[in-house]
Amino acid sequence: MASPGSILVSPPNLIRLKAAPNNYEWGKIGRASLVSQLAPNAVGPDFKLDESKPYSELWMGTHPHGPAHLFDSPSIPLQRLITASPTPTLGGLLVEKWPQSQQLPFLFKILSIQKALPLQIHPDKRLAEELHAEDPAAFADDNHKPEIAVAIGPPLRTLRDRDPGAGAALVCAEDQDAAFTGFVGFRPLAAIRTFLLAVPELWRAVGDDALVDSFITIPSPALLRRVFGALLTRPDGAEAEVRALYKRVRENVVVGRGAGAAIGRGEDAEEAGRLVLKVGEQYPGDVGMLACVFCMNYVKLKKGEAVYIGADEVHAYLEGDIVECMATSDNVLNAGFVDPAERRAQVPTFIRALSCTARPASHWALPAEPYAHSRGDRTRAYRPPLEEFVVLGTTLSAAVREERFGPARGPMVGIVVKGTVRVATNAQAKEEDDEEMRAAPGTVVFVRPGNGVQMELVEGEEGEVWWAAWGV
């Protein structure tokens, strides 16, 4: 093993990282969480499982709120290595593009979600700079935070079959194969109008009959901003309506009318009714339930499917295991499913910044495509419309155990999710592998620019490795 000092001066091509876990209350509990399952190798001997705690995220990046460290020299943050050797660790092209940054351009995460995350947006670059200058304690950086989420877990219904306590059938609204669910972006204006007409608790919660009438008469993005803002700025006044709707839907289910009877007719009404119960049970009386269920798209992703969420776009993930990648930032504005004081402080800026794009859920889909630099055709690429990162997903099997990438022009961070995989690098001018490690599930690696990568499944029937990369 190289000494810490020599690593800083001459970093190896392949470096094992120690990820940073966290325990937000929305995470899955104990060993049910994918985060806790990966943590022994992702975090190392410091990790001690507590079956009563939620395990929500693993961070793999350089953001100061959850920095990765070198696994074999845990006193050294990855950021220190990059600062000491920016061109060898980031690549000349990346250093030239963002010369003032000297950090990874992306933040890579694993999330394991049991209940709704806060209803939120991430500010765009201009607003992030403004908020950071005004309150650096609350907004730790000046960057934007567009992000993608890729479903990587098994179907949610399968998990409930294994553990009935994971979610009652009464409040289950997932498709048979859905591995992730969440609220993403605004529904089409006509759909929101339909719910306002059908659900008296919703328009009463807005607290402005004239505004609701105007939206119903001629729906528009400008009026949507006002309706959504009115809903979120009077959470105390809306609480009674939230509880009344929850009670009405549950009573209909108990007497056999179905969850949708209180909402309208058809599959959309039934799904909305079940979501009223699901979210209302998680956050009793929170107006975010009305905002999400009736104003936002309910997105269901099968394993391997992804969504892209731009800056200022509203979202609240609901359930499942995902790979998430974003521009390096931790800026967020929350408007639901959070402490009332935090909501009151952030809602005015949230509404001002909010993008009111109203489209079907498919608008936010990010299709996977073949990865051009794959030499084994076992990898798919997720390319969002931004400069900071590409996400790569590699699957291996007993039938096809190997995959190889050509050299990248920038840094790569990878995590093994399934199987034990031999990960090796080879410099651009070499044919043979020059550095390698045996990576069990949870192992996190950093690959320097200019190196090809080889993966070989050496244990298990399935292998799965996820990468965040720049310059590929």
**DSSP H or E stretch at residue 417:** strand 412-427
Tokens 């079907």 correspond to: 360
Which of residues 282, 314, 342 is at a domain's end?
Answer: 342
Is there a domain that residue 352 lies in? no
Q: Based on the domain organization, do 338 and 412 belong to the same domain?
A: no
89: domain CATH number is: 2.60.120.10
pLDDT score of 353: 96
327: which 2 tokens?
A: 């521009």
Is there a domain that residue 80 lies in? yes
pLDDT score of 169: 38
Is there a domain that residue 333 lies in? yes
Tell me the C-alpha distance between 449 and 25, whole Å: 37
Is 324 annotated to bind ligand?
no
Local confidence band at 34 (pLDDT 50, 70, 90 cut-offs): very high
* Statement: residue 234 has pLDDT above 90: no
Q: Based on the domain organization, do 399 and 310 belong to the same domain?
A: no
Local confidence band at 155 (pLDDT 50, 70, 90 cut-offs): very high
- What percent of the chain is modeled with pLDDT above 90? 85
Residue in 299, 301, 308, 318 with CA at minimum distance from that of residue 391: 308
**Mean of pLDDT values over 288-316:** 98
pLDDT score of 164: 46
Query: In 3-state terms, what secondary structure has residue 48?
Result: coil
Is 65 annotated to bind ligand?
no
Query: In 3-state terms, what secondary structure has residue 176?
Result: coil
Tell me the C-alpha distance between 293 and 279, whole Å: 8
**Mean of pLDDT values over 427-442:** 76
Query: In 3-state terms, what secondary structure has residue 7?
Result: helix
Q: Based on the domain organization, do 314 and 438 belong to the same domain?
A: no
pLDDT score of 101: 84
Q: Based on the domain organization, do 336 and 448 belong to the same domain?
A: no
Is there a domain that residue 194 lies in? no
Is there a domain that residue 71 lies in? yes
Q: Based on the domain organization, do 11 and 97 belong to the same domain?
A: yes
Q: Which phi and psi angles does 245 have, rounded to 5°?
A: -65, -45
* Angle, alpha carbons 316-321-325 (nearest 5°): 70
The answer to which of 69-83, 120-134, 166-180, 211-225 has the lowest mean pLDDT is 166-180
Q: Based on the domain organization, do 334 and 424 belong to the same domain?
A: no
* Statement: residue 242 has pLDDT above 90: yes
Per residue in 39-54, pLDDT (tens digit) is 999 999 999 999 999 9
Is there a domain that residue 25 lies in? yes
Q: Based on the domain organization, do 423 and 335 belong to the same domain?
A: no
- What percent of the chain is modeled with pLDDT above 70? 93
Local confidence band at 162 (pLDDT 50, 70, 90 cut-offs): low
Q: Based on the domain organization, do 123 and 20 belong to the same domain?
A: yes
pLDDT score of 159: 60
pLDDT score of 457: 98
pLDDT score of 376: 84
Per residue in 267-282, pLDDT (tens digit) is 899 999 999 999 999 9
**Mean of pLDDT values over 117-139:** 93
Local confidence band at 209 (pLDDT 50, 70, 90 cut-offs): very high
Q: Based on the domain organization, do 328 and 387 belong to the same domain?
A: no
Local confidence band at 166 (pLDDT 50, 70, 90 cut-offs): very low
**Mean of pLDDT values over 426-431:** 56
**Mean of pLDDT values over 429-453:** 86
Please state whether 371 falls in left (phi above 0), alpha (psi between -120 and 50) or beta.
Answer: beta
Is 403 annotated to bind ligand?
no
Is there a domain that residue 290 lies in? no
State how many domains the chain has: 2
pTM: 0.94
Q: Based on the domain organization, do 330 and 399 belong to the same domain?
A: no
Per residue in 394-424, pLDDT (tens digit) is 999 999 999 999 999 999 999 999 999 999 9
**Mean of pLDDT values over 432-447:** 90
Is there a domain that residue 134 lies in? yes
* Statement: residue 170 has pLDDT above 50: no
* Statement: residue 320 has pLDDT above 70: yes
Is 122 annotated to bind ligand?
yes
The answer to which of 11-20, 255-264, 270-279 has the lowest mean pLDDT is 255-264
Q: Based on the domain organization, do 392 and 308 belong to the same domain?
A: no
Q: Based on the domain organization, do 146 and 42 belong to the same domain?
A: yes
**Mean of pLDDT values over 357-364:** 98
Which of residues 342, 370, 400 is at a domain's end?
Answer: 342
pLDDT score of 240: 95
Query: Which residue range forms the structural domain that includes residue 431?
Result: 378-469
